[in-house]
Amino acid sequence: MKKILISFLLLSASLLATVINEEASQQLIDSKTPIVDIRTPAEWKETGLLKGSIPIMLFDEKGNYDLKDFIDKLNNAVDTKKQFAIICRTGSRTRVLAPFLSQKLNYDVINIKSGILYAKFIKLPIEPYSAK
């Protein structure tokens, strides 16, 4: 009976992982939900970062990626047991990444749909990027 209950609880937990698609907003920033910016350092320098964002590159300038390295850095930077958001330039990269993180890793992810370009357009607070 214990094995059945544990199996049910594990299955239930995995079914609770979600992807929420929403636009960048002041409300999201104010909520203190961690926001992970998956763009490249060149992109961060070009546009800056949404206030409070955590820069963790997924795809490099040539489109290559190291998923294990990204996941390791993500797990070190945010509590992935809690909801967090991801952002890119226009939302195309996060549109692919968010379902993967939810379905394969059971993370609760907010996909910021239109990316940093929309955030800049609606004049959300942007911070300059400086390599640490």
Q: Is the dihedral of CA 100, 102, 105, 110 positive or negative?
A: positive
Phi, psi of 29 (to 5 degrees): -60, -45
Work out the pLDDT band at 17, boundaries 50, 70, 90. confident
Stronger pLDDT, 127 or 5, i.e. the higher one = 127
Q: What confidence tens digit (pLDDT) does each residue in 32-64 have?
A: 999 999 999 999 999 999 999 999 999 999 999
pLDDT at 109: 98
Whether the predicted pLDDT of 107 surpasses 90: yes
Whether the predicted pLDDT of 5 surpasses 50: no
Whether the predicted pLDDT of 87 surpasses 80: yes
Provide the pairing of β-strand 54-55 with 84-87: unpaired
pTM (two decimals): 0.86
Distance of CA 54 to the CA centre of its chain: 9
